[in-house]
């Protein structure tokens, strides 16, 4: 069974600084997808960034980028120039290429301080 592990229950970053959230996963599949979702206090689940396993190039989306290490099964999220609005729970998630479901990690609560 696939598992997703987020080893940092909480992280804190100062405004304008950079923070990296860790995620590791376990799978025997070769075709899969990885995601980072953000859940602010409003409870809404918002897709931040997505990575296809077959792509070697790390995905980027404005201030958000990932460090995808396929051999190590690691998928960390880097947030640059952190903003107060980045404060939220961040969930790493995994999906195989054929199954229509997401397996989530336990989340990392990110605090952004002035």
User: Contact with another protein (CB under 8 A): which of 20, 74, 104, 111?
Assistant: 104
Rule CB under 8 A: say whether 2 interacts with another protein. Answer: no
For residue 75, give Cα distances in angstroms to 6, 38, 51, 72.
Answer: 10, 15, 9, 9
Rule CB under 8 A: say whether 63 interacts with another protein. Answer: no
Region from 10-18, 20-28, 32-40, 73-81 binding another protein, contact rule CB under 8 A: 32-40
Structure tokens at 110: 């990110």
Q: In the complex with another protein, which residue's Cβ is closer, 32 or 75?
A: 32
CA angle 3, 95, 63 (to 5 degrees): 95
User: Contact with another protein (CB under 8 A): which of 22, 24, 103, 111?
Assistant: 103
SS (H, E, C) 69-89: ECCCCEEEEEECCCCHHHCEE
Q: In the complex with another protein, which residue's Cβ is closer, 16 or 45?
A: 45
């Amino acid at each position: 069974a696939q598992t997703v592990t987020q080893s940092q229950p909480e992280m804190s970053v100062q405004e304008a600084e950079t923070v990296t959230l860790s995620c590791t996963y376990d799978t025997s599949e070769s075709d899969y997808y990885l995601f980072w979702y953000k859940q602010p206090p409003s409870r809404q689940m918002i897709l931040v960034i997505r990575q296809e396993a077959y792509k070697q190039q790390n995905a980027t989306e404005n201030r958000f980028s990932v460090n995808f290490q396929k051999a190590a099964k690691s998928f960390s999220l880097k947030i640059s120039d952190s903003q107060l609005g980045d404060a939220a729970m961040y969930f790493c998630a995994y999906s195989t290429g054929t199954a229509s479901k997401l397996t989530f990690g336990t989340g990392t609560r990110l605090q952004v301080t002035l």
